[in-house]
């Protein structure tokens, strides 16, 4: 595992109407990680998003389906006890989970399903700041020609 990354298995609560999953509770994570916005993304089969990292932003990804993602993480924080450690695991329809990814941890995921897959994110910073007038807090390793961070 990577220091400060928090993985929480999520439980589907079934009844006669269907199911419900709690995706976020403010009492379960430190207030410095509390979300300030959310978004939902759909990723087509075989498509990779990332890898990139943030200098200040923490992401709280929620993978519940439809579809499954292979999540890849690299610790790029020199002061971390897990510096340069690599981690990957599958989350989504078959293993619902939330994954808190702190700044400096490079992250990306790939839809490994045959269907469109959905991810929810609850970042603790506004994308491009208030009124979308600030630089975006992303280092896009996927755009670097000789990047060592590759998702096959």
Q: What is the pLDDT of residues 107-138, one digit of tens each?
A: 999 999 999 999 999 999 999 999 999 999 99
Instruction: Look up the CATH number of the domain holding residue 120.
Output: 2.60.120.10
Q: What is the DSSP string of 32-82?
A: GG--S--EEEEE-TT-EEEEEE-SS--EEEEE-SSSEEEEEEEE--TTSTT
Domain that residue 55 falls in: 1-11+34-127
**Residue 81: pLDDT band with limits 50, 70, 90:** very high
Q: Is residue 20 part of a domain?
A: no
Tally of structural domains, the chain: 1
Any domain includes 81: yes
Tell me, yes or no, whether 150 lies in a domain. Answer: no
Q: Is residue 43 part of a domain?
A: yes
Task: With respect to residue 133, please indicate whether it lies within any of the assigned structural domains.
Answer: no
pTM: 0.95
Please say whether the beta carbons of 75 and 85 come within 8 A. yes
Q: Is residue 48 part of a domain?
A: yes
């Amino acid at each position: 595992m990577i220091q400060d990354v928090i993985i929480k298995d999520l439980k589907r609560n079934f009844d006669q109407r269907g199911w419900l999953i709690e995706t976020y509770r403010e009492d379960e994570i430190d207030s410095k990680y509390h979300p300030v916005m959310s978004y939902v993304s759909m990723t087509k089969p075989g498509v990779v998003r990332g890898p990139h990292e943030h200098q200040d932003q923490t992401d709280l990804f929620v993978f519940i389906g439809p579809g499954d993602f292979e999540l890849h993480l690299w610790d790029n924080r020199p002061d971390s006890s897990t510096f340069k450690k690599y981690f990957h695991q599958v989350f989504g329809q078959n293993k619902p989970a939330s994954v808190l990814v702190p700044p400096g941890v490079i992250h990306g995921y790939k839809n490994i399903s045959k269907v469109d897959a959905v991810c929810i994110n609850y970042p603790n910073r506004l994308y491009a700041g208030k009124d979308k007038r600030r630089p975006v807090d992303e280092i896009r390793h996927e755009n670097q020609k000789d990047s060592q961070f590759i998702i096959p």
